[in-house]
Amino acid sequence: MSDVPIAGDMPFAVEVEKGKTYNWCACGRSRAQPWCDGSHEGSDIVPRQFTAKYSEKVWLCGCRRSRHAPFCDGAHNRPG
């Protein structure tokens, strides 16, 4: 996903609720990071939807390079 804007240098720590579905911004343009606000409209990029398995804090990718998006895998620490 290197062709999209970086939304942040670090992951976003967010609390999610078990069973709730979330839409992670895959385009990097949302003003509601890390969540989708529809800014991708008109592009071929769509948000990554996931349903929380547990009520917990998760770390969502901000650099858009994670191999496990929407979850951070430490890609922000790897050279460019």
**pLDDT tens digit string along 2-29?**
467 777 789 999 999 999 999 999 999 9
What would the two tokens of residue 73 be?
């895998």
> What pTM, to 2 d.p., does this model score?
0.87
pLDDT number for residue 22: 98
How many residues belong to the chain? Answer: 80
CB atoms within 10 A of CB 13: 11
Average pLDDT over residues 18-45: 95
Structural domain that includes position 46: 1-80
- Number of domains present in the structure of the chain: 1
* DSSP β-ladder status, 48-51 and 21-24: antiparallel
Average pLDDT over residues 50-67: 96
pLDDT greater than 70 at residue 60: yes
